[in-house]
Structure 1
């Protein structure tokens, strides 16, 4: 299918580009700028998954792969770059209502000032009623010293949980466990979860901001039988409560909510759970819409036939959050998030395709769909691989590099978990860039981008972003506070296209080094993620400092 956009194409051709000194011919700031300019244009309406704008973006990426001579891998049997992901969208029909009764009173939560709840992916009309039990942070990992469910009977009940994880817990571990709370609650027999933001969470994301980001439909990818894939199918009810109003649930409990939140705000604080003596009923209606949206997948073959079935995978999400219809500027263009990541991936792929000496292993490139809806395209690709008898041995992911300053370091989330760490550090250093630790552990970024779906399949992975050294911290925080998931994430931002070319250069060095390694990447023997998701895999001994 062809889409004509002559005005857009002309704007790219005529856009003024500063003349800059080039460190090397492979990476051109103007090329990075051209990709971002096309993908972040209003014509694409914010690249919402399943929309015409996303389809235009997918065709653009496929045409770039085609032009560089890459092998189509979305559907290898059909010679197509597109791996169609079957999806179903669920939308709220009306405002959810939560009614809590007990201790001689009835409390009704029926507005977004009090309650936020999305649609249910499985049930169109839903009424879920059950007793309430407070279970602290909702962490159920005795092997890690986390025993929030000890002494609690939550079978057939709705658990009330604090957001996040105890202060002092390793950030990547905490992020993983936070993402796994629904599964832990389901395994204990709970049927619903009500979440109350902690003080730290509220400081980062005030309730008004949560309301602004709420109300969107939810999507799930469909399994072969046509049913939505649900990570915790036993959890039928879920909602987030405004702490200001949630305090009423604790009125006759062992502790007030104020005391619970104060304890949770201390280093190592782990509030104990207790029955709240109240019953909650959540009512909500949902409507469903099936659709599909493609991952765009290509390959640059390797040079060594002995490792032709060992693929290094680069991922970046192509979608953004689309047209929200709010305010004068209603299109969320996603220039930084993640047109910049896609531009990086395309330039790395082009450099590898042009390189006369290709790396040993083949390299896959996947522009994935519906990251914004819950890492859905990457999960579908991870569970429905396109490599035939081969396997993905490492993943490098790009998501929202901040390209408004000349960075001197990069952050490789997850690097400390496997032998990818030293490879990434050495390759970055050779490109004149240092590797820095996670600068935002409280954000739990390790579980919030596409590489994580491959980690869950036992594959060593890293997620690369520009670092916080020098002006980086201010630039990153400024973007998060003012532009993240806002219409202002567009080409009016002060992009430094030389930084974009440098980011592509650094990641070219990293990916090439991984693909040339003599040995396969290994999880370290003491890595939680290696033990959790690849228990039978051969592990490496962590080198001494």
Structure 2
């Protein structure tokens, strides 16, 4: 650590520790008004949707840094002085240079409408012509009972996989395995991966949604050599196909696509794989560029020297999806629920630790993260580029609590896999909040928020979702269908600000117990995510 930054950190730490005295000890207060003030600013039009690398995002990052500074937190980023709050994250940007091409068995398809083929962050021009092999759901974890590649040779070929996981698979495990499909394919020697929607997926959304997203800009965080990091760099082409090209893949096969989809739609259905006859050829060209953004990171020092190198990490993503200049009327996606509410929670939990007058035994890192909407990239960068000399022993993530009702229960993703579940249960009990199972397993929420990147690094993590009790089922599902990633996700929604304060309080109680516990969080012996038992 540079001397100048060390001096600043020591000064900040001294000021912060002064707040933690017996004379100032008090029960932390969580108010609806303070919670609302953060959301109103972060989701205002001034911030233009907080897109990664944008002016609006930078304003939001400065707001969080100033909130941390005002509370007396210690800068924990990479710079010095005012820059000490920030961890710079370099990115590679990718945009399709023109429409991709797709042919199956010599028949051409409209790759811009009948396929979702996004740009590559790794190469400007790619063509892959190869045979294809259907591999069921494409899951390769035999120890957990998933062995879809057994008996199949996919070397140098496309693998064709069904989206998601078999019905009845525990939601967190299914979501994790689904996110690993490209890695599984690469490790088996495949060069491309083609995804087919299940019948359930076809009912949930139209293919035009996927085709549109494929035409948008993609980004990946840059490694020291300037190349984008990728979990499976050996997979050259990835595509999702609509019905007509998907059916063409199965021409002359021993089973029809309709037969395979019908089996997969049954509880526990696991179609076995087989070679496909048509040759597949996909070409795409990409324009590559550069972008940078920041994670905002502050620290509350711990009081126990024996635990000084065991950090508790609290996270919330600061970015949203920006603006759409081509849209008529309102063009700003304000992101009030997603995720100004999570950042408000982060700030108010920090405030509670400072104003309680009771020092946490372990040091606490608080991070407002960039590029979650681009693929959890800011979280992944922090997970692989730690800013402290010790180790992060547990993560609590705050993301999109739906605060349109007075929630009476929460879903605690990750809680069943580690001793963090005990802390969640006690915090819930103290506030009269029940714990409920995942009501939306088809959404794969466990792998869609920042904590997951730390799970992948072997760190016990938890993330709370407001539950379906007290009318929450209608409010939550209505928000997802009507307001999620739409311009209507703004402070104009009928937000229950008192529920926001309650959400901050339960997360504070969880974080406090982790910070003060005599032992660090640990994976349960039978957890699928225990590092020795899962692919990284």
> Could you state the TM-score of these two structures normalised by the residue count of structure 2?
0.92
Deviation string for 1:195-248 (max 9, x for gaps)?
Answer: 111011222222233344442211111112222111101100111101244112
Give distance in 2, aligned partners of 1:514 and 1:387.
18
After superposition, where does 1:454-533 map in structure 2 within 5 Å?
Answer: 454-532=454-532
Cα RMSD (Å) of the superposition? 1.7
Distance in 1, matches of 2:192 and 2:179, equals 15
Which secondary structure state, in structure 1, belongs to the residue aligned with residue 49 of structure 2? coil
Give the conservation status (yes or no) of the 8 Å contact 2:333–2:487: yes
CA contact (8 A) 1:312 1:361 kept: yes
Partner of 2:366: 365
Residue number in structure 2 paired with 1:355: 356
CA distance in 2, matches of 1:451, 1:38: 25
Match of 1:80 in 2: 84
Deviation, 1:346, is 0.5
Correspondence for 1:54: 57
- 28, 53, 63: which one aligns with 2:66: 63
Pairwise CA distance, 1:107? 2.1
Is residue 85–residue 221 contact of structure 1 (8 Å, CA) maintained in 2? yes
For the residue of structure 2 that corresponds to 1:291, the secondary structure is strand
> Is the Cα contact below 8 Å between 1:431 and 1:509 reproduced in 2?
no
Is contact 2:114-2:211 (8 Å) kept? no
Contact 1:456–1:533 at 8 Å: present in 2 too?
no
Shift of 1:533: 6.4
How far 1:424 sits from its partner (Å)?
1.2
Aligned to 2:16: none
Q: CA deviation at 1:328?
A: 2.1
- Conserved in 2, the CA contact under 8 Å of 1:137 and 1:161? yes
Counterpart residue number, 1:148:
148
Say which is worse superposed, 241-250 or 205-214, in terms of deviation: 205-214
1:380 maps to 381
Task: Tell me: CA distance 1:64–1:121, structure 2 relative to 1, closer, same or farther (3 Å).
Answer: same
* Secondary structure, counterpart of 1:424 in structure 2: helix
Query: Hey, what does 1:166 align to over in structure 2?
Result: 166
More off after superposition, 123-132 vs 431-440: 431-440
In structure 2, the residue matched to 1:393 is 393
The correspondence of residues 254-293 of structure 1 with structure 2, limited to 5 A, is: 254-293=254-293
Maintained 8 Å contact 1:423/1:514:
yes
1:87-132 CA deviation, whole Å, 9 max, x = no partner? 111111111111112xxxx322224431111101111012111111
Retained in 2: the 8 A contact 1:455–1:533? no
1:60-139 aligned within 5 A: 60-75=63-78, 80-101=84-105, 106-139=106-139
SS at match of 2:530: helix
SS in 2 for 1:528: coil
- Deviation larger for 234-243 or 300-309: 300-309
Output the CA distance in 2 between the equivalents of 1:472 and 1:89. 38
Contact 1:317 / 1:338 at 8 angstroms: preserved in 2? yes
Which range is displaced more, 243-252 or 92-101? 243-252
**TM-score of the superposed pair, with normalisation by structure 1:** 0.90
Tell me how far apart the structure 2 counterparts of residues 214 and 26 of structure 1 sit (CA, whole Å).
Answer: 45
Shift in Å, 1:150: 1.8
Contact 1:458 1:533 in 2 (8 A): no
Which has the higher relative contact order, 1 or 2, with Cα contacts under 8 A spaced 6 or more apart?
Answer: 2
Aligned to 2:328: 327
* SS of equivalent residue, structure 2 residue 277: strand
What SS does the corresponding residue of 2:84 show, helix, strand or coil?
coil
Contact 1:394 / 1:460 at 8 angstroms: preserved in 2? Answer: yes
Q: Distance in 2 between matches of 1:341 and 1:367?
A: 9
Q: Is the CA contact (8 Å cut-off) linking 1:140 and 1:147 kept in structure 2?
A: yes
User: May I ask how many residue pairs the two structures share in their alignment?
Assistant: 508
The Cα of 1:429 is off from its aligned counterpart by 1.1
Measure the CA separation in 2 of the matches of 1:123 and 1:25: 52
Structure 1 residues 510, 370: closer, same or farther in 2, change over 3 A?
Answer: same
Q: Structure 1: give runs of 5+ residues left out of the alignment.
A: 1-23, 536-545
- 1:14-29 equivalent positions in 2, closer than 5 A: 26-29=29-32
Trace 1:301-312 onto structure 2 (pairs within 5 A): 301-312=301-312
Q: Is the 8 A contact 2:264 2:270 kept in 1?
A: yes
CA distance in 2, matches of 1:340, 1:142: 40
1:186 corresponds to: 186
